[in-house]
Structure 1
């Protein structure tokens, strides 16, 4: 029996099958801080916040002053959906070109390498969106407290918390 050492089709097929069964999940992932997940959701979609107990929310201000407010409206400052809208075609191209690289390399480029490259790209682009978002501007009280008008950046934790994970398609 003669073995064909040049038949790379099984390896190519395995990697392409592997690629089609994978997904990249990007954002603040389920095992991360619930507080940061809440901050991300509030900023992504906006929120109307009212006191749960009593008439007022007590909001700290500069120089120790405390403000009593009946409610606070936080406008939507999308960084996930807006990045997806702006970049999803490039992300699709990354997968397509990755599949071509798997074929051209005879399966030596792996599905994991393609998906990792996509995850890193998505993570960087979402982090950049967070750091560049300027509108809607912070409320004057927020600017006074932070000392700057940088709506999605205070401590930098939100941007640093954007992670990616390669999963089976359909799973978190």
Structure 2
């Protein structure tokens, strides 16, 4: 009878020596910034000038990202908006941008929520996978990959269903829906995993 204990110990040591990292790719600074802002919240203030210039759904529908792209735009007296004349609108204006001194993005801790909600489920799933590995039905790589994919799936589910705090009415009107962690799905689609040696 073959003694498989040394092989099992070696496999378990390999599992112990690596950790699974799940989230946005480290190489994407923009998505990392978005994830951190969503996780912890942030007050955004203008870098240049006195106002944040926030495009409305009208600007987005015209694929306009900057106020200078819209000819004939002006700021109506006493209003914190930039608009163009539009006779078909009730007030004769089409609002293209909203002006704000600052805007607060509330914390939506999807990373911490995913971990707290699922850590026991992941541990149970990992135990099942390790049992299969011990009896020779699965390799170390398969255990790590299946567990990593389960964690990614959990995080994507959190992003899809995270609803509070909701988007502001302005953000909802711009996006056309109220999914606080989803806009163009870049954050959602970016969630991935890799393995890193502990020592």
Matched, 1:164 2:193: yes
Structural RMSD (CA): 1.5
Q: What residue number does 2:118 align with?
A: 87
Which of 37, 50, 57 lines up with 1:55 in the alignment? 50
Q: What residue number does 1:12 align with?
A: 8
CA distance in 2, matches of 1:63, 1:51: 22
Q: Unaligned 5+ residue runs, structure 2?
A: 60-95
SS at match of 1:7: coil
CA distance in 1, matches of 2:131, 2:153: 23
Over residues 36-77 of structure 1, what are the superposed CA-to-partner deviations in whole Å (9 max), with x where a residue is unaligned? 111111111111111122211111113231111000000111
Q: What residue number does 1:24 align with?
A: 20
How many angstroms does 1:34 deviate by? 1.2
How many angstroms does 1:159 deviate by? 0.8
Q: How does 1:52-131 map to 2 (within 5 A)?
A: 52-64=47-59, 65-105=96-136, 109-131=138-160
Matched, 1:155 2:195: no
SS at match of 1:26: strand
Q: How does 1:135-150 map to 2 (within 5 A)?
A: 135-150=164-179
Q: Unaligned 5+ residue runs, structure 1?
A: none
Q: What residue number does 2:33 align with?
A: 38
CA distance in 2, matches of 1:163, 1:43: 17
Q: Check whether the contact 1:28–1:161 (CA below 8 A) recurs between aligned residues.
A: yes
How many angstroms does 1:166 deviate by? 1.6
Aligned pairs, how many? 163
SS at match of 1:81: helix
Q: Check whether the contact 1:116–1:166 (CA below 8 A) recurs between aligned residues.
A: no
Q: Check whether the contact 1:28–1:163 (CA below 8 A) recurs between aligned residues.
A: yes
CA distance in 2, matches of 1:17, 1:110: 13
SS at match of 2:22: strand
CA distance in 2, matches of 1:128, 1:19: 26
